[in-house]
Structure 1
Amino acid sequence: MGEQDHGPAARTAVPVPAPPFSGAGELADALLDRVGLRGRARRDAALAAAVAAASVGMLWLLLFSLVHVDAVALSAAAGAVLTAAMAAQSLLLAVRRRYPVVCLVGGTALQLPVMALLPPEVGVQGLALFIAAYTCGTLLPVPRLLGAVAGAVVLYWLVGGPVQGLLAPPADLPPVPEGSAVPWLGLLASGVPTFVLPALVGAYVGTRRRYLGLLRTRAAEEARAQRERAESAIRAERARMARELHDIAAHHLSGMVVQAGAAERLIGRDDEAAREAMAWVRSQGRETLAGLRSVVGALRDPAEDGGAGAEQGAPVPGLADLDRLVGAERELGTEIEVVREGEPYGLAPIADVTAYRVVQESLTNARDHAAGARVRVLLRYGAEGFVLEVGNGPGGARATGREHRGLGVLGMRERAQVVGAALEAGPTGDGGWRVRWEMPVNGGER
């Protein structure tokens, strides 16, 4: 019974799992925002500058090693071209999200002069190609991703092979045998960690991001639908309350009109002023009744009016009809115990109807969601207030496929607020369910 569904608001939205390292990502975002790097364009530009500095630094360390360790002399022009190519390759990352394919293929093309100016036995590669391949994986659909990676690998392998070491100075390094396929195989093998693996990682990350985005969209739609269902339930319950208020007022006003007519007939013949006053009461009663029906009647569902032959202004059920309600539920197989404490007194009409509806909904929920459970209905008439409590123990499996048609907790709370009562509803320690409705009373209701 702890899982009882008391209305549309009881349904929960679709849970969205947190992505891996989401905490670290949020921390990084906060730090970047603090230093003024807000937006993708600024962050990509900062990444490009950082990668360019790191790649050029790696290149200069390599050139320093070639000159002072391996005695390979590179001209100043060659060093400048290598530095420019490595920096330009990295700076392309500034547009990696807008033009991922251009970033990947252009970075691969800028790798060719680096391969031509260095000896075949020496290779250097910056970080830009790894990041560009990863970015393509996160942003591109599979067909375009395969085409971009295949084009970069072909350019890197077929063009890079012939130009490798073409403009390099002579070097006293272990030679590569002429006609050997080792350089070609090495380029092909290096293309896997350079292009394929980062692209696969990026494809996984991009797929997960899109999946989480769909989950968030679905969760937002479910939350919006849940709010709409809750608002619809509240509107329906308010309309139902208005109809019941209309019926109560109509019933009492009709009686006032009848009594006023009787008093008019029984009044003394020479008491003309009193007769005129009672006639005015009757007239005002009729006008009030017509106005109330015209205003509140707009809230009625025509399908619930009961047809043309339905009685207008009939009283709605209250606690006086509780025994009949309990008897009907017992005939359906529910074991119900009714306990009354204190000296019963009358409640205000709308409060009396509300108390009846709370019992009715609670009994229906117990039958639908805890089949076979024993139900206890307590009515405590106290000096300071009236307490209504309906509780049940754990029962059988909840009913499935049942369209919700009762008050629900939302409707109960709405009614409780109207009459100034406090409502508590929730599971009990033994696996059951309890609804407690408490309303202060004044002397006129006892």
Structure 2
Amino acid sequence: MGLRTPLARDTALAAGLALAAAGLLWAALTIMGAIDGVRLPTGSAVALTVVVCLQPLPLCLRRRHPTGVLLAVAAAQLAVYAFLPATVAFQGVATFVAGYTCGLLLSTRALVRLLVVVSVATGLMSGAVSGMLFDPQPLPGSDAARVLTEADPAVHLVILTGLLSAVGCYAVPALVGRYVATRRDYVELVRLRADEAVRAQRERAENAVRAERTSMARELHDIAAHHLSGMVVQAGAAERLIGRDDDAAREATSWVRTQGRETLDSLRMVVRALREPGPDGAGRDGTYDGAPVPGVPALDRLVAAERRLGADVALSHEGEPRALPPVADITVYRVAQEALTNARDHAPGAPVRIVLRHGSSRVVLEVANDPPPGGSGRADGGASRGHGLLGMRERAQLVDGRLDAGPDGPGGWRVRLEIPLTGETGRAAQGTREER
């Protein structure tokens, strides 16, 4: 309907309830005439209709002043009692909405105090005002003697009826409103906790990615420092050989060119990853063909170290071994290292198989473990143990590779890394082959 503000919606609600209350009133007066054979004078009927239509109007402010709205609606209800006999009960629809709103917006203590005051006051005053302005007119041809001559019910019965009516019209809707408010608070609390959990998980994941990127950056620094120091030495030798041994000088400068191209390719791949939001990543051990970080040649030492710890690890190579660019070489080693750590943590004692396949266009690493003896451990491959898989995927993306990790058979786990030897990775590998 285009009602964008709470005030506009409450105004529309009040207008609708006013029309509904007027319709219900005329239906009640028609029924009273049919059953009792009497009708209200025209003036009384018009006045009563005006009161009934005005009763819902305070609901326009129900969100801002719920207590005042309830008191105004209750006062209008007492005016309705004055136009009708004590034996006829007509309850305005606005009383239910006002009670519900108070239950929704007020505190429990304030709500209880308000309901007690309104219920008691309504019950006591209904005994005094009921039928005060009632002036029935008998319908032509009807026997209205019973209505006109019947003694009024006892005052205490009128008060009891008014009290029960107030409890039903104010207290019951207020309890419903209180329940809805509690439910909304609970849902909001659950939503906030879920948001906090998602935010905390995102922060942990970002921290893990930053740590992994810091690791890659440090490893790249070690590789670049190693290669650049060699380039400086070779450039100095070439400078001394110029004019004395040109062939040796050309060979030295060619080596410098190859090393420079390889280092630039490695820098380009890592810097592209570190330019993403939250760059930063750790570790250095072993050697890589003279470089101070480990690579594929260090896999044998890694497997030997695992065997010394009591693990059943088998390593096999398929295809013709080939030299990989430094970043891809480190990626293969780090993924194998992380997969072995996960297998040791989550499937202790299970046999582990490492297969490294060298192809013409790609290198594939597979690390698979059987279920742990006796069914101990977890078949999640370490996915819940921090962010090992996150780090492996980050390294795979750095070299345009693909990492798949998941269950392998009943209770086993498999990690598969595929690195294509195309694009920048292939050019870096070609440079490494030329150097060697």
| Bin for the TM-score computed over the shorter chain | 0.7 to 0.9
The structure-2 alpha-carbon separation of the partners of 1:406 and 1:211, relative to structure 1 and needing over 3 Å to count, comes to closer
Correspondent of 1:58 among 4, 24, 30? 24
Give the match for residue 342 of structure 2: 365
Instruction: Report the counterpart of residue 433 of structure 1 in structure 2.
Output: 413
Q: 2:366 aligns with which of 385, 389, 397?
A: 389
Question: Residue in 1 aligned with 2:276?
Answer: none
2:274 match: none
Q: Kindly indicate whether residue 98 of structure 2 is the aligned counterpart of residue 132 of structure 1.
A: yes
* Matching of residues 151-300 of structure 1 within 5 Å: 151-169=117-135, 172-173=146-147, 175=150, 179=154, 181-264=156-239, 269=244
Compute the displacement of 1:177 (Å).
Answer: 6.0
Q: TM-score, normalised by structure 1?
A: 0.77
User: Does structure 1 retain, via aligned residues, the 8 Å contact 2:284–2:293?
Assistant: no
Q: Is the 8 A contact 2:205 2:390 kept in 1?
A: yes
Q: Is the contact between residue 371 and residue 412 of structure 2 (CA under 8 Å) also seen in structure 1?
A: yes
Please identify, of 252-261 and 52-61, the stretch whose mean Cα deviation from structure 2 is larger.
Answer: 252-261
Contact kept, 8 Å, 1:119 with 1:164, in 2: the verdict is: yes
Q: Classify the secondary structure of the residue corresponding to 2:36.
A: coil
Once the two structures are overlaid, the 10-residue window that deviates more, 408-417 or 254-263, is 254-263
**SS of residue in 2 equivalent to 1:97:** coil
**Secondary structure in 2 aligned to 1:181?**
helix
Pairwise CA distance, 1:433? 2.6
The equivalent residue for 2:305 is: 328
One-letter amino acid of the structure 2 residue matched with residue 319 of structure 1? V
- CA deviations 1:55-110 (Å, max 9, x no partner) are 11111111223335423332222212211221121222222222221221211111
Greater mean alpha carbon deviation, residues 214-223 or residues 50-59: 214-223
Are the counterparts in 1 of residues 86 and 152 from structure 2 also a CA contact under 8 Å? no
- Given candidates 312, 316, 322, the residue that maps to 1:339 is 316
Equivalents in 2 of 1:160, 1:406: separation in Å?
70
Q: Structure 1 residues 126 and 398 mapped into 2: Cα distance closer, same or farther (>3 Å)?
A: same
Between stretches 335-344 and 242-251, larger displacement belongs to 335-344
Match of 1:97 among 54, 59, 63: 63
Identity of aligned residues (%): 54
Taking CA–CA contacts closer than 8 Å with sequence separation of 6 or more, which of the two structures ends up with the larger relative contact order? 1
Instruction: Determine the C-alpha separation between the residues in 2 that align with 1:114 and 1:90.
Output: 13
In structure 1, the residue matched to 2:390 is 410
Which of 44, 65, 83 is the matching residue for 1:117? 83
2:111 aligned residue? 145
Q: 1:376 aligns with which of 346, 350, 353?
A: 353
- Aligned with 1:353 (options 306, 330, 339): 330
Query: Within 2, Cα distance between the matches of 1:268 and 1:371?
Result: 64
Structure of greater Rg: 2
Matched position secondary structure for 2:88: coil
Query: For residues 145 and 234 of structure 1, do their structure 2 counterparts lie closer, same or farther at Cα, with a shift above 3 Å needed?
Result: same
Structure 1 residue 408, shift from structure 2 partner: 2.5
Residue ranges of structure 1 left out of the alignment (5+ in a row): 1-34, 307-312
The answer for the alignment partner of 2:54 in structure 1 is: 88
Task: Indicate how the Cα distance of structure 1 residues 429 and 49 shifts in structure 2: closer, same or farther if over 3 A, else same.
Answer: farther
Structure 1 residues 155 and 425: alpha-carbon distance in aligned structure 2, compared to 1, 3 A threshold: same
- Partners of 1:105 and 1:333 lie apart in 2 by 81
Give the SS at the match of 2:38: coil
Give the letter for the 1:169 counterpart: D
CA-CA distance at 1:385 after TM superposition = 1.0
In 1, Cα distance between equivalents of 2:24 and 2:87: 17
SS in structure 1 opposite 2:366? strand
Q: Would the aligned equivalents of 2:358 and 2:364 in 1 still touch at CA under 8 Å?
A: yes
Q: Distance in 2 between matches of 1:379 and 1:270?
A: 43
| Alpha-carbon distance in 1 for matches of 2:207, 2:167 | 58
Cα-to-partner distance string for 1:303-334 (whole Å, 9 max, x where unaligned): 9799xxxxxx9611111111222222233343
Residues 1:197 and 1:374: Cα distance change in structure 2 (over 3 Å): farther
Alpha-carbon separation, structure 1, partners of 2:405 and 2:383? 21
Structure 1 distance, partners of 2:68, 2:156, is 30
Which range moved further: 364-373 or 101-110?
Answer: 364-373
Q: Which amino acid aligns with 1:131?
A: V
- Quote how far apart the aligned CAs of 1:206 are: 0.8
1:319–1:355 CA contact under 8 A, matched in 2: yes
What SS is found at the alignment partner of 1:430?
coil
